[in-house]
């Protein structure tokens, strides 16, 4: 690596079991006197608990977060923010919740304090997405990146084993693509390799014992490192395929990453030897079995391995291949439509790469 630009935009990270108890102090650091807590209806009790921790700083709790951040929900929340003179957003939940807070910030400029409860990683990035009329628009805007992130592994204990596994592999996908990113740097490479190592070591334990705090701590640390590199460097073919399958075919976000990652890795292996060497070290496997070893993490622990299992129809492969070819983007291995079609066919069938 002879040329790179290292320009991190760090957030304050407060990490450790029980540290959600410091939410009020962290809100004070950001000058939050009138906070809006954002979450989903299924995480109502956690949102209320955080509201109580904030005391009279909590003005309102909004439980309207939904997958893909529908624009109308953002509009309603922005009205609340303006009517209630909110000065700080507290996002408590997964990528959908943090996505809603980012949507509000795009319009209001308010700072965000994020309390993530999945491994998805949105809390570490300046990437936003909003859906209008079934179409998701995404972009990068430094203002939407949370100023402070509280990673409390105790909040993951309630995340079901199946969702923990797919969400953890979603996190791993950020680190895998960071290892062959066009704009990688020495720090992003270290963080990405360590992210994969922590996730691969911890996820099997999490699936067996979702309440094991050591395993939750290890995997949350891996997810943080992986999310940080997602913010720092560009992603490639794997992410493009997953956005196509999620955005145009409605496949579930984390499960789609879980299925596609082994096939994207296998496809890129011949053109990313340094990345494969790093992955072999992190996964403790032979360098020619990286893709299969990633799939084994899902297969051996009850996770999905084929697009067929996710309800994707084989007859849609051609349309998906066409969509994935729109807007050219960097990938270590050049590809044709035939390559993408063949990759999707293998992912549909789920045969170990």
For binding to ligand NAD (CB under 6 A), which residues are involved?
40, 42-43, 67-68, 93-97, 99, 117-118, 120-122, 125, 127, 129, 155-156, 158-159, 167, 253-254
* Closest to ligand NAD by CB, 125 or 244: 125
| Long-range contact set of residues 249-252: C-beta below 8 Å, sequence gap at least 24 | 249/312, 249/316, 249/320, 251/307, 251/310, 251/311, 251/312, 252/166, 252/310
Looking at beta carbons only, is 121 or 303 nearer to ligand NAD? Answer: 121
Rounded least distance, CB 202 to ligand NAD, Å: 15
Nearest distance, CB of residue 145 and ligand NAD, angstroms = 9
**Which lies closer to ligand NAD via its Cβ, residue 118 or residue 268?**
118
Q: How far is the CB of 271 from ligand NAD (least distance, A)?
A: 25
Residue number, 157 or 287, with CB nearest to ligand NAD: 157
For 252, the 3-state DSSP assignment is coil
Helix (H, G, I), strand (E, B) or coil at 38: strand
CA–CA separation, 13 and 114 (whole Å): 10
* Nearest-approach distance from CB 312 to ligand NAD, in angstroms: 17
| Distances from the Cα of 225 to the Cα of 91, 192, 215, 230, 262, angstroms | 20, 6, 16, 9, 20
- Closer by beta carbon to ligand NAD, 127 or else 251: 127
| Closest approach of ligand NAD to the CB of residue 191, in Å | 16
Is the CB of 36 or the CB of 223 nearer to ligand NAD? 223
Residue from 227, 94, 254 nearest 162 by CA? 254
- Neighbour-count burial for 44-55, b at 16+ CB within 10 Å, e otherwise: eebbbbbbebbe
Q: Which CB, 226 or 331, lies closer to ligand NAD?
A: 226
CB of 70 or CB of 121, closer to ligand NAD: 121
**How many CA atoms lie within 13 Å of 12's alpha carbon, on the beta-carbon side?**
11
Q: What is the DSSP letter of 305?
A: -
Structure token digits, residue 63: 């439980």
Cα dihedral 107/112/114/118 (nearest 10): 20
The closest residue (CB) to ligand NAD is 95
Instruction: Name the minimum Å distance from CB 118 to ligand NAD.
Output: 3
CB of 59 to ligand NAD, least distance (A): 22
The dihedral through the CA atoms of 335, 190, 353, 161 has a sign that is: negative
- CB 227, min distance to ligand NAD, A: 7
């Amino acid at each position: 690596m002879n040329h790179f630009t290292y320009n991190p935009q760090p957030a304050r990270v407060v990490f450790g079991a029980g540290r959600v108890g410091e939410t009020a102090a962290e809100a004070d650091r950001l000058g939050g006197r009138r906070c809006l807590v954002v979450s989903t209806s299924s995480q109502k009790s956690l949102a209320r608990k955080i509201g109580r921790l904030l005391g009279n700083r909590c003005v309102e709790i909004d439980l309207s977060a939904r997958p893909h951040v529908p624009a109308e929900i953002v509009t309603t929340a922005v009205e609340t923010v303006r009517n209630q003179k909110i000065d700080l957003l507290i996002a408590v939940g997964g990528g959908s919740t943090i996505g809603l807070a980012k949507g509000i910030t795009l319009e209001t400029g308010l700072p965000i304090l994020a309390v993530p409860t999945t491994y998805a990683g949105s809390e570490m990035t300046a990437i936003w997405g909003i859906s209008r009329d079934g179409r998701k628009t995404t972009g990068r805007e430094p203002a939407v990146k949370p100023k402070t992130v509280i990673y409390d592994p105790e909040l993951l204990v309630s995340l079901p084993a199946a969702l923990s596994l797919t969400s953890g592999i979603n996190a791993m996908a950020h680190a895998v693509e960071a290892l062959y990113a066009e704009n990688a740097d020495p720090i992003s490479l270290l963080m990405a390799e360590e992210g994969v190592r922590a996730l691969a070591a911890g996820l099997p334990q999490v699936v067996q014992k979702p309440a094991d705090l050591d395993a939750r701590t290890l995997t949350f640390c891996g997810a943080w490192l992986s999310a940080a590199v997602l913010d720092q460097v560009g992603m490639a073919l794997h992410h493009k395929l997953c956005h196509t399958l999620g955005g145009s075919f409605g496949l579930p976000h984390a499960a789609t990453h879980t299925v596609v990652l082994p096939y994207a890795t296998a496809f890129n292996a011949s053109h990313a030897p340094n990345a494969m060497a790093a992955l072999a070290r992190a996964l403790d496997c032979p360098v020619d079995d990286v893709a299969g070893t990633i799939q084994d993490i899902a297969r051996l622990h009850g996770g999905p391995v084929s697009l067929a299992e996710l309800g994707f129809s084989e007859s849609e492969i051609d349309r998906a291949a066409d969509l994935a070819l729109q807007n050219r983007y960097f990938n270590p291995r050049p590809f044709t439509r035939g390559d993408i079609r063949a990759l999707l066919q293998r992912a549909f069938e789920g045969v170990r790469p």
